[in-house]
Structure 1
Amino acid sequence: MLRVDVGAAVVTSWRPAFDVDPVVVLRPHRRGHGDPAWRLDARGTVWRACTTPAGAVTLAVRRAGDHVRGSAWGPGAEWAIQGLPDLLGASDDDTGFVAHHPLVAQARALRPDLRLGSSGRVWDALVPAILEQKVTGKEAWRTWRELCCRFGEPAPGPAPEGMFVPPTPERVRAVPDWEWHRVGLDGGRRRALLAVASVANRLERAAELRGVRGRDLLRRVPGIGVWTAAEVAQRAWGDPDAVSFGDFHLAKTVGWALLGHDIDDVELRELLEPYAPQRQRAIRYLEGSGVKRPRFGPRYSPRDYRAF
């Protein structure tokens, strides 16, 4: 991987030894179409605004022929560029994966560029995961936008207009009580967010422990359960076996794709057992297959906790 400094930017050109589509690999980090920390421009460049141990960073990634080009600005630029290969799945290993269902095999053949990337950053995955607990996606994404724009900082460098770096743990702990109502966060999720903010540095070790040990470390914090730990593990260290049990849609979606009918979490665990220790990889293939569960009723109406 070639890395050079260009003015205030750190730039790299990397030729991966595998097929990779940065848009596909980085899409799990996007929180809704209006995510202020994630953008896709007309040239196919993915822009991410992130926190790092060294400070804020804006990272721009795009495919250029058989190379991936990355540019980073801000105090965390070096850290982000060094982690770019892993972010795009260089450390992902699907050795031993067997497609036990025809649909999984078909999806895998159609998407050889699907990789499980590792951001190496627990905090940036943990905050939105907490916001998404037990609410609709629209509710969670609205709060995420409010939190980033009110308490984050403008993305450094030539980032697209309106991009913000997520707030740091220190900034979250300093948010006044009344502001939590304005961003639309209820008491339970607020308590969980403040709890992880108070031990955020120690929780970053989960990305080093990885696997079950990493998820167990996250679950030591009150308000962090199986679902939230799995959502973080999938993004922070590309955990191939982290299944988001307890998700409102997941069991139904997988059941419909593989069996043609809804199932519950108990049946989901049994259905995915042959794929252990790569159950999440199988789910990603199913999600990329394009199979959709039919809708049988009206969608849930988003609630608004904001106080004006």
Structure 2
Amino acid sequence: MPSFEQCYRAVESRDSRFDGWIYIAVTSTGIYCRPSCPATMPKRQNSRFYATAAAAQEAGFRACRRCLPDAVPGSPEWDLRADVAARAMRLVDDGVVEREGVGGLAARLGYTPRHLGRLLVSELGAGPLALARARRAHTARLLLETTALPITDVAFAAGFGSVRQFNDTIRTVFASTPTEVRQASRRKEPTNGAVVLRLPYRPPYDVDSVWRYLQGRLVPGLEEVDGPTYRRAVQLHHGAAILELTPGDGFVRCALRLDDLRDLGPAAARCRRLLHLDADPAGVAEVLGRDPLLGPLVRARPGLRVPGSVDPFETAVRAVIGQQVSVSAAATVAGRLVTTYADPLAHPSGSLTHTFPTAESLASADRLPMPKARTRTLTALAAGVVRGDLDLSPGADQAEADAALRALPGLGPWTASYVALRGLGDPDAFPGTDLGIRRALVRLGVEDQPQAIAALAERWRPLRSYAAQHLWTHGSAAGLDGGGETGGLGTKNHHEGQAA
């Protein structure tokens, strides 16, 4: 947490950059808000600051009806940090507490439930149950505002164990009944059966570069772009879903068609990770903008994001497929895997017909449309996930995942770094041997020597992933052969180095 004075100044200036980082609670009203809330400025002695909405709720405050503090971009802390608290937050967003309980969350992180509870209260001001409760309340509000589902269905879709628990939570958090929350909704638009959300982000946001990245590597049957809308199928915890993402002013419109509404929260979290909506572009620009080499690139594209993934396992598979082949060839091969080994959608939509193959289906595959060495790498990758030797979940320990990836046959530093960068959201991954990065650096006057590039990248810690994205984008804009990937997957002529 920043100091009280820093927090209070952010509220005094209505600084929206702090929305999602901190929450202000006012003892005289019993309400908590985002820092940019236009309500009257509270006195210092009545102000309390919290790191999470859950912590404010645990302290007895209810959410402001005017600024909706639960509907802000998530804190970039949970993307930047690799500690247990950040990993726990990512798992809570993915619905682990609802599916596996606090014991399951603790086991995934290697702690006892009691120890994990103490750690999270110390770091975040709230334990696992309170964090999950805040997430359920947010999901319930979205369902109440955007769907005509019966109240009972909303309760169970949001993850509540009973209607009574649901009603009590909504009254406590929003000071309203579920019916009153629904009636007060100001967002009324046709949904055609989808759940429509607005996913906010911190401006600036370079929408064009993210959408070019997505459109440049569409996998047939899995993804498509329809005008400004990116659409794809994805397998979630309780069923399949189709995600539709359309950029707006200050938010991305997200339409979700879910087989099971219990997947709403995890689906929204995956969309945020895919588009990197919780990033802090001002902070990144402040750090990397001072660098003499990267500074001009950063100032030219202040809202550049690092596109992520809806499924780290899918990212790893596509990275293996992309070794030593072009982006278009990698997408073609991935499309063959999708139609051969993935589950078909019960209700195909447009060109979307399948989800991505599961680890179980690829681990047992005997023939894949790629060379034998790469087939061996891919089946070993899938088998490692199935056995549990390789954790690619949102709460994965990044160092352990990197070591497990590099231990696989035919999978070296480039692929491991790429999976960390795209799949696991590591802000400090840097695939320095990538051809696109190397050519961009040569254009900037850097010697094309691995040791020189590695030494140079050290000064960009802990934001080397952003540095890589700026270099890829710079190479693409310059039309460098092999540099147009804008993300590393399948950079042509790249050589991984076949590990034994």
Change (3 A) 1:166 1:50: same
Equivalent residue for 1:18, pick from 170, 192, 203: 203
Q: Relative to total residues, which structure has the larger helix share, 1 or 2? A: 2
Partner of 2:270: 83
Amino acid at match of 2:414: W
| 1:134 equivalent in alignment to 2:324 | yes
Measured after TM superposition, the shift of residue 60 of structure 1 is 0.8
| 1:45 equivalent in alignment to 2:229 | yes
How far apart are the structure 2 equivalents of 1:24 and 1:235? Answer: 15
Cα offsets for 1:198-220 (capped at 9, x unmatched): 13253344642454444223323
Measured after TM superposition, the shift of residue 27 of structure 1 is 5.0
Cα offsets for 1:24-45 (capped at 9, x unmatched): 3365456635644332211x11
Measured after TM superposition, the shift of residue 275 of structure 1 is 0.8
Measured after TM superposition, the shift of residue 172 of structure 1 is 1.6
| 1:105 equivalent in alignment to 2:295 | yes
How far apart are the structure 2 equivalents of 1:73 and 1:285? Answer: 34
Change (3 A) 1:140 1:264: farther
Task: Output the TM-score relative to the length of structure 2.
Answer: 0.51
Contact 1:26-1:88 at 8 Å conserved across structures? no
Amino acid at match of 1:89: H
How far apart are the structure 2 equivalents of 1:170 and 1:212? Answer: 24
Partner of 1:286: 471
Partner of 2:363: 173
Amino acid at match of 1:240: P
Equivalent residue for 2:381, pick from 181, 187, 196: 196
Deviates more, 1:124-133 or 1:77-86: 77-86
Instruction: Give secondary structure in 1 for the equivalent of 2:288.
Output: coil
Change (3 A) 1:36 1:232: farther
Amino acid at match of 2:426: D
How far apart are the structure 1 equivalents of 2:259 and 2:360? Answer: 17
Partner of 1:152: 342
Cα offsets for 1:184-234 (capped at 9, x unmatched): x11111111111211325334464245444422332333332111111112
Cα offsets for 1:89-110 (capped at 9, x unmatched): 2443545623355563233223
Partner of 2:194: 9
Measured after TM superposition, the shift of residue 125 of structure 1 is 0.4
Contact 1:206-1:215 at 8 Å conserved across structures? no
How far apart are the structure 2 equivalents of 1:197 and 1:207? Answer: 17
Equivalent residue for 1:217, pick from 396, 404, 408: 404
Equivalent residue for 1:238, pick from 397, 400, 425: 425
Choose between structure 1 and 2 for higher RCO, CA contacts under 8 A separated by at least 6 residues. 1
Equivalent residue for 1:122, pick from 312, 315, 336: 312
Structure number with greater Rg is 2
Amino acid at match of 1:73: R
Change (3 A) 1:270 1:50: same
Measured after TM superposition, the shift of residue 262 of structure 1 is 6.1
Amino acid at match of 1:173: A
Change (3 A) 1:225 1:56: farther
Contact 1:47-1:59 at 8 Å conserved across structures? yes
Aligned residues: 289
Contact 1:22-1:62 at 8 Å conserved across structures? no
Change (3 A) 1:66 1:100: closer
Instruction: Give secondary structure in 1 for the equivalent of 2:465.
Output: helix
Cα offsets for 1:241-274 (capped at 9, x unmatched): 2122333443123222x10x76132222123221
How far apart are the structure 2 equivalents of 1:111 and 1:38? Answer: 27
How far apart are the structure 2 equivalents of 1:37 and 1:262? Answer: 40
Equivalent residue for 1:67, pick from 240, 245, 251: 251
How far apart are the structure 1 equivalents of 2:409 and 2:237? Answer: 24
Instruction: Give secondary structure in 1 for the equivalent of 2:252.
Output: strand
Cα offsets for 1:54-107 (capped at 9, x unmatched): 443221111233332111224475221233333332443545623355563233
Contact 1:208-1:214 at 8 Å conserved across structures? no
Change (3 A) 1:120 1:63: closer
How far apart are the structure 2 equivalents of 1:225 and 1:248? Answer: 15
Partner of 2:158: none
